[in-house]
Chains A and B, each alone.
Chain A
């Protein structure tokens, strides 16, 4: 009986873990989609992970960043970069997703 209970827990944990990694992967795919299409970040930035070669803003692989710093930049913009949050071009959720995607995908 104990063995069955243990196996059940292992099975549940494994399912949860798979679900979590599936969810992470889905979020990263969504992040890429926002980067390349919804917000068109790709048009202005070089970013190896997205294969983008835009040459208006900084090369995102050369910039030091945190989730918070990216989120703030995407929300409020800078210079020619639109204020994606303030001007309601992206939702808060989309901003979180794309910021997370950029920080986690950076190649330095």
Chain B
């Protein structure tokens, strides 16, 4: 017997978006293709969507118009990843300049504090000023290594970047609001990018709760690597939660509330939960703190064969919420390890460190791996199997095979 089907619990008017609503209804009356355009994500001239046509196509792997990865060898060898090379992972459409309006008039409300207030970007810029470096990393970075092929972009190493942010420390904002309410347990940040879509906010709204303590390190950022935060990366104002996975760094920030409970929206309650394969639910841990991790960026299989003799093996290493302490490199698939040297400036515990190991390789095939430690934890050999392919920091999958000639 045919099962009785549930209806979509969104009204069609609310579910459909913009002109597609009319187009969809008109088209389906006769079941012919829709012909009305309203997208701002059409493909640009360089094979990138228009909204990020300023990025470097050669540095990027396009999984979809909303899931774009940085090539392993294009992550940047100068510590900071250039904006044009940084990955894109957008759960919701990027806001347009028209939707944003005058950036200085952008508003963010602060709630769950003694004196709730709404600040414009111009007011925030008068309140305080700080610059810090953090790692942006998608929770699913490394998903492409999972054998059960979890749904979502098949990232390998390139859904990560080291970024310099300028903005006002959340601590300063909290002080300006008279302090946090005593019963608060979480800092809950909400983006406003659901507004133009007409979708049910409980399903579409990006609202993420993190433990309250994160406010001490957090920042409301308006500048990213020396330029106003691009719309595609959450401008004009983005929450930055150092040491926490990308999803918690809420884009197009409209509200920060200190709350007693975690947000009840789908993106908090159901999505981004690290559950065993075949299981799901809000009882499983949320994608919050990033684990210690590293990977080699050169040489790799992307950079071609390597000339025998002296070789510089370079990469990046991060400690998660703690300072990365050491990195070891293996050229024989993990049978033996040598300590690598950190190079470049130390931009604090939330930035990654570059490392290098100088070694001599004769012709042959090599498996190169790196293994980082933050003093308390080190990278495991294997991935932690989980349903959605989150938080992969196993060193084995992240190793690379190279040929020396």
Contact = CB atoms under 8 A, between A and B. Distances in A.
Contact of A46 (B2, B32, B39, B63): B39
Interface string A35-65: 0110010111010011111111111001110
Interface string B356-378: 00000000000000000000000
Contacts of A88: 3, 5-6
B195 to A, nearest CB: 13
Given A40-B12, A53-B37, A73-B151, A80 B31 contact: no
Given A36-B28, A43-B24, A89-B6, A52 B34 contact: yes
A58 B66 contact: yes
Interface string A49-92: 11111111111001110000100110010111010000111110
Chain B interface bracket (under 10, 10 to 19, 20 to 34, 35 or more): 35 or more
Given A52-B34, A90-B5, A42 B20 contact: yes
Contacts of B34: 36, 42, 50-53
A44 B41 CA distance: 12
Q: What bracket does the count of chain A residues touching chain B fall in?
A: 35 or more
Contacts of B5: 88-91
Interface in B117-136: none
Given A32-B31, A32-B33, A43-B21, A87 B6 contact: yes
B184 interface: no
B66 A53 contact: no
B41 A42 contact: no
Contacts of B2: 91
Interface stretch (B196-204, B227-235, B334-342): B196-204
15 contacts: A29-B31, A33-B28, A40-B24, A51-B33, A51-B34, A52-B34, A54-B17, A54-B39, A56-B92, A58-B64, A80-B91, A80-B92, A90-B5, A91-B2, A91-B5
Interface of A: 29, 32-33, 36-37, 40, 42-44, 46, 49-59, 62-64, 69, 72-73, 76, 78-80, 82, 87-91
Interface of B: 2-3, 5-8, 12, 15-21, 23-24, 27-28, 31-43, 49, 62-67, 91-93, 149, 151-152, 197, 199, 203-204, 266-267, 271
